[in-house]
A = this chain, B = another copy of it.
Amino acid sequence: MDFVKNAWYVAGWSKEFDQQLHPVRILGEDLVSFRTSTGDVTILQDRCPHKLLPLSQGRLIDDQIECGYHGTTFGADGKCTHIPGQPRVPPTACVRAYPVYERHDIVWVWMGDSEKVDYDAVFDLPQLADPDWENHQGDALHIKSSYLNVAENLVDPAHVTYVHPTTLGSADHASVPVEYETKGDPILAWRWIRNAPPIPLFQQYGDFKGNVDRWQYFYLHLPSTAVIDFGSADADLQSTGDRRHEGVRMFALHFLTPVSANTTIDRWMHIRNTHVDDEETAHRLDEIFRVAFAEDKNILEAVQVEEDKSPNGAPLQLAIDQACIAYRARIKQLAEAEQSQ
């Protein structure tokens, strides 16, 4: 599996961490998390080096983990502090400690070489800290498909018509051309549907008088964070890419955590510049997204089943695949560069 290791992945929403031990699996590695008494999230390798028992089956005592089999104890830095039955703790007795960064109620973990940790590389979005915008955390959706399949679905406007005909898409989308920018990070695919009636979702929140211009921008940040920026503005405004804030605008964010080669957690949230402070709106949007993302999950899991049967992959590439092809090539490049070092 092509995993990019020197990168930040979401370990969970902040509310998932407390002063208890929680196992979590990322990139096929078993980790254990807890929040210390001073509030910091700690993430360690979830395996005692003595008999391999997961430390998450032990006890958290004074910000240290005591193994549930023989009482071997590890501090938040992963170093062993106590071994029952012997006075000396050998320096090799330790578990790996992973760099952690918490911001905007999201906990990130650095899965690669600790010496290369780059705190400036943690994903950010100005609207997450802007009081004029409301953000709301949705679910942690477990998908039995590789993160590559899930990610490419999030930079792929073409699927919306067929997978989400009753929620996010509409038949008239299908013929609108998509534009791409595949050289940078994020990879971007976008399109405008000009001078059309507003879709029901936006009619409800936008109070539009007549036709609107609608946009969909799909940003895919390497390795696996997607931002889907979509909205509508009165057609009279003749909106453009740099004037989207004048319309009713929403972001659907997807933080993909590869669990194993073929399973992924998609933690999604949404941000909006309308009906701010209206809890009811947030829950109604949750309901719509839950239906839509379950449609994706259904497709993506079926695709994984077929990929497992056909390791050589699919024989046909289409014009609509530009961003997906670029994404996979970039991931491959990053993973190979790491492996060759």
* Residues from chain B with Cβ under 8 Å of A177 in the complex: 85
Residue of B nearest to A50 (CB): B316
Contact A318 B54 (CB under 8 A): no
The docked-state distance in angstroms from the alpha carbon of A318 to that of B51 is 10
Give A148 Cβ to nearest chain B Cβ, in Å. 12
Stretch in contact with the other chain, from A61-69, A103-111, A282-290: A61-69
Residue of B nearest to A85 (CB): B320
Stretch in contact with the other chain, from A221-229, A271-279, A306-314: A306-314
Residue with the greatest number of chain B CB neighbours at <10 A, chosen from A51, A53, A175, A309: A51
The docked-state distance in angstroms from the alpha carbon of A125 to that of B67 is 35
The docked-state distance in angstroms from the alpha carbon of A27 to that of B314 is 21
Stretch in contact with the other chain, from A35-43, A155-163, A248-256: A155-163
Give A178 Cβ to nearest chain B Cβ, in Å. 7
* Majority secondary structure, A binding face: loop
Number of interface residues of A (CB under 8 A): 49
The docked-state distance in angstroms from the alpha carbon of A72 to that of B30 is 40
Residue of B nearest to A161 (CB): B71
Enumerate chain A interface residues (CB-CB to B < 8 A). 30, 47-54, 57, 66-72, 83-86, 90, 92-93, 158-159, 161-163, 174-175, 177-178, 298-299, 302-303, 306-307, 309-310, 313-320
